[in-house]
């Protein structure tokens, strides 16, 4: 199974801050990576597919980049509704998820 390592595991930020989360794959996965947001007690929501394609209806402050083994999720200006846990997931082979990054209010 392809291992995904997310960092940091948690961060504290303020409304308006720029936030970057990284995801490193244990082997090259081309652009076969998705990002999800999960609010407490809710199902995950797909934000970005194929490393950089924003899903319909997702605010443009979210962006994704990378290919191969290194990927990033960026939130350009953090909003109150963005405080949540974020996961990366690869679909190059049998799906695996990163360990998650919890974004908390500073």
Partner 1 sequence: EVQLVESGGGLVQPGGSLRLSCAASGFTFSNHWLSWVRQAPGKGLEWVANIKRDGSEKYYVDSVKGRFTISRDNAKNSLYLQLNSLRAEDTAVYYCAKEGDPGGFDSWGQGTLVTVSS
Interface stretch with partner 1, choices 16-24, 59-67, 68-76, 83-91 (CB under 8 A): 83-91
- Percent of the chain as helix, strand, coil, to the nearest 5: 5, 50, 45
DSSP single-letter state for residue 57: T
Distance separating alpha carbons of residues 65 and 94, to the nearest angstrom: 22
Q: Contacting partner 1 (CB under 8 A), which of 55, 59, 70, 106? A: 55
Distance separating alpha carbons of residues 45 and 47, to the nearest angstrom: 6
Interface stretch with partner 1, choices 14-22, 30-38, 59-67, 70-78 (CB under 8 A): 30-38
- Give the residues lining the site for partner 1 (CB under 8 A): 1, 32, 34, 36, 38, 43-46, 49-50, 55, 87, 89, 91, 94-100
């Amino acid at each position: 199974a392809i291992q995904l390592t997310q960092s940091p595991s948690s961060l504290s930020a303020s409304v308006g801050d720029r936030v970057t989360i990284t995801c490193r794959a244990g082997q090259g996965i081309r652009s076969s990576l998705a990002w999800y947001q999960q609010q407490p007690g809710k199902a995950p929501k797909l934000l970005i597919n194929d490393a950089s394609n924003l899903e319909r209806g997702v605010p443009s402050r979210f962006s994704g980049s990378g290919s191969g083994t290194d990927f990033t999720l960026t939130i350009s200006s953090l909003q109150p509704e963005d405080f949540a846990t974020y996961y990366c997931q690869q679909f190059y082979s049998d799906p695996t998820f990163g360990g998650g990054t919890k974004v908390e209010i500073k």
